[in-house]
Amino acid sequence: MSAPHPPKVAGIDSTVPTPAHTVAPVPPAPGAPSVPKAPAVPAPGTVLQDRLAGWVSDLTTLHELTERLARTGGLEPALQELLRAGAALVGARRGLVALEPADGLGPHTTLGLGLGRADLGHLETIPACALPYGTGTGTGTGTGTGTEIVHPDLFAEDGLDPRHREVAARLGYAASYALPLTTDAAARLGAVLWLYDGPAEPNERQRHLIGLYVRFAAEHLARLLEVERTRACMATIAEELLPSRLPRVAGVQLAARHRTGPRGGGDWYDALPLPDAALGLAVGSVTGSGPSAVAAMGRLRASLRAYAVMEGEDPVAVLSDLELLLRLTEPARAATALFAYCEPALRKVTLAGAGHSPPLLIGERRTEFAETSVSAPLGMLSCWEAPSVEIEAEAGETVLFYTDGLLHRTGDPMDRAFARLHTAAASIPRALRHDPGAIADHVLHTVLPDGLDSAGSEEDVVLLAARFD
């Protein structure tokens, strides 16, 4: 009597037991025909997991790249980051970005990745209508989908500009991929191009990722462009409010250096001839930054010039008048100032300061701060007053005036910043001591090394050097 068959459940034949271990397949007998295996069909869940993993990977990559771009605070670092990240996304080794705002207000710049200045110069010789990144009147001979410009094989294209072919052969690239830099609010900002050593083009996934990244980059660049233009405008206004050139007075040589912050600050300097072959020198700083501080600086400097002409031989009276004016016209604002009445023939300097750092005497036999009295800034007290100080310089010595921004930009405590300034002045080479401009440059670059003198600090910096013959 045969045993009953167990029932089937959910289409599974329960008569076939699940093996407890894996058994190696039996090889076919020699001469037996081989039976082809059916191709493995991935389960729907596996396909979905792979697709989700790809999306997560792409989003993670974009997040990391856009975060790095967002951390850039200037146009040039942002453009360099755009080139590096884009090259990684499209699989290229070299590239360039051309910033050419359509409104014509600038700034205009071209930066390369893996390209030297000579290479960029060769690319600029290509006619505008045939540029591989399409900033000219045409879009080249490559194929494109909407805004991108693709040259998958330059040397196989018909009608390629001869100069473009010559430059490509010289620089060793055979394909290019370019995208414009545009935003919804602003017009075209420029274009970015990546170069391939051989025939190539990004695939669909790469194009999607680089399109998203460049769209974000264009918005970031548009914001940085506005900041850069505002900074340049404020710097221009500040420079126009300062002396366009220093006067020539017998017995003394003058030089000045000015570094303004990104929003424009209130640091200033002045030098004006006075009666009896005298010379008035002044440095100062108005609290705050931005257009209001720049305007206040201009008013303060103009007022001091008037007071210096009337009673410049008495620096205390000059600053007292200036303090009264500031307190009556701008009661919410304070300022520091230092005014010096110089007699070059006698090499004598009479000065008074209001909350300002003391000048520095630099010579062959001494490097020391002038002993000025401690006083409050202008606008801080109901009645400002401080005694004047006389300095007698020797032949060949330089009196260096400066604003506190020089000390603040170091990031050190004030005592250490003063020590750094003294060390920088004492280390001036003998060959530079005859030139006040070289003295100012040496002090500036020594106190603020590694580009701190031109960094985007909120602090203005002013140096005014007077060398007596």
Model pLDDT for residues 139-178, shown as the tens digit of each residue: 334 444 447 889 999 999 888 889 999 999 999 999 999 9
Does residue 257 share a domain with residue 166? no
The C-alpha atoms of residue 6 and residue 9 are separated, in whole angstroms, by 9
Q: Is the dihedral of CA 67, 70, 71, 72 positive or negative?
A: positive
Under DSSP, the state recorded for 20 is: S
H or E element that contains 423: helix 414-426
| Percent of the chain whose predicted confidence (pLDDT) is above 70 | 84
Ordered alpha helix ranges (H), 242-314: 291-311
Cis previous bond, 107, omega within 30? yes
pLDDT, position 417: 92
Looking at per-residue confidence, does 260 or 316 come out higher? 316
Does residue 290 share a domain with residue 397? yes
The residue out of 204, 233, 262 marking a domain boundary is 233
Tokens found for residue 407: 């000390």
Q: Assess if residue 300 is contained within a domain.
A: yes
Rounded to an integer, the average pLDDT of 101-124 is 90
Looking at per-residue confidence, does 454 or 244 come out higher? 244
Q: Strand pairing of 252-259 and 265-274?
A: unpaired
Does residue 204 share a domain with residue 269? no
Does residue 384 share a domain with residue 247? yes
Does residue 229 share a domain with residue 120? yes
Model confidence at 65, pLDDT cuts 50, 70, 90, reads: very high
Q: Assess if residue 25 is contained within a domain.
A: no
Rounded to an integer, the average pLDDT of 222-241 is 82
- The CATH number assigned to the domain holding 372 equals 3.60.40.10
In the chain, count H helices and then E strands: 10, 15
Q: Return the ∠ at Cα 166 (arms to 182 and 131), rounded to 5°.
A: 15
Ordered alpha helix ranges (H), 246-314: 291-311
Q: Assess if residue 35 is contained within a domain.
A: no
Rounded to an integer, the average pLDDT of 384-388 is 78
Residue 10 has pLDDT above 90, yes or no: no
The residue type of 408 is H
Please tell me the total count of domains within the chain: 2
Residue 18 has pLDDT above 80, yes or no: no
Single pTM value for the model:
0.64
Does residue 202 share a domain with residue 255? no
- The CATH number assigned to the domain holding 181 equals 3.30.450.40
Token match 């602090």: residue? 459
Rounded to an integer, the average pLDDT of 42-67 is 82
Does residue 383 share a domain with residue 291? yes
Q: Assess if residue 294 is contained within a domain.
A: yes
The residue out of 209, 233, 257 marking a domain boundary is 233
pLDDT, position 459: 80
Does residue 161 share a domain with residue 262? no
The residue out of 173, 205, 233 marking a domain boundary is 233
Does residue 297 share a domain with residue 221? no
Contact 238/301 with Cβ under 8 angstroms?
A: no
pLDDT, position 158: 85
Q: Assess if residue 261 is contained within a domain.
A: yes
The C-alpha atoms of residue 330 and residue 324 are separated, in whole angstroms, by 10
Q: Assess if residue 322 is contained within a domain.
A: yes
Rounded to an integer, the average pLDDT of 433-459 is 83
Residue 9 has pLDDT above 50, yes or no: no
Looking at per-residue confidence, does 273 or 5 come out higher? 273
Does residue 442 share a domain with residue 403? yes
What is the domain range of residue 416? 242-468
Does residue 220 share a domain with residue 141? yes
Does residue 250 share a domain with residue 101? no
Q: Is the dihedral of CA 400, 406, 411, 415 positive or negative?
A: positive
Q: Assess if residue 55 is contained within a domain.
A: no
